[in-house]
Amino acid sequence: MTENRRRVRENVEEYTLETGKHVIVLGEGRLVNLAAAEGHPPSVMDMSFANQALASEYIVKNHKGFKNEVYTLPKSVDKK
């Protein structure tokens, strides 16, 4: 199935299939930020997920006044 395998750089491999198509595999096909250890630390991810949860709560509580457009999260919510 694979004609050739080439290491592009650390944690990136390119496979050439018999059809001539190429497949790029990151971090050996595992969860990249864990396998490649190039992701954000857990403390940063915690803050990011908390902010997403607060933004979701804001949308649920205030969606009736929204139009179909992009909104900036109010600073009062973002600062929590």
Residues 2-38 have pLDDT tens digits of 788 999 998 899 999 999 999 999 988 887 766 677 6
Classify each residue of 9-47 as buried b or exposed e, where b means 16 or more C-beta atoms within 10 Å of its C-beta: eebebeeeeeeeeeeeeebeeeeeeeeeeeeeeeeeeee
Q: Residue 1's pLDDT band (boundaries 50, 70, 90)?
A: confident
Q: What is the pLDDT of residues 31-77, one digit of tens each?
A: 776 667 766 777 888 888 999 999 999 999 999 989 999 989 899 99
- The whole-number pLDDT of residue 66 equals 92
- The whole-number pLDDT of residue 46 equals 87
Residue 16 backbone zone (phi > 0: left; psi -120 to 50: alpha; other: beta): beta
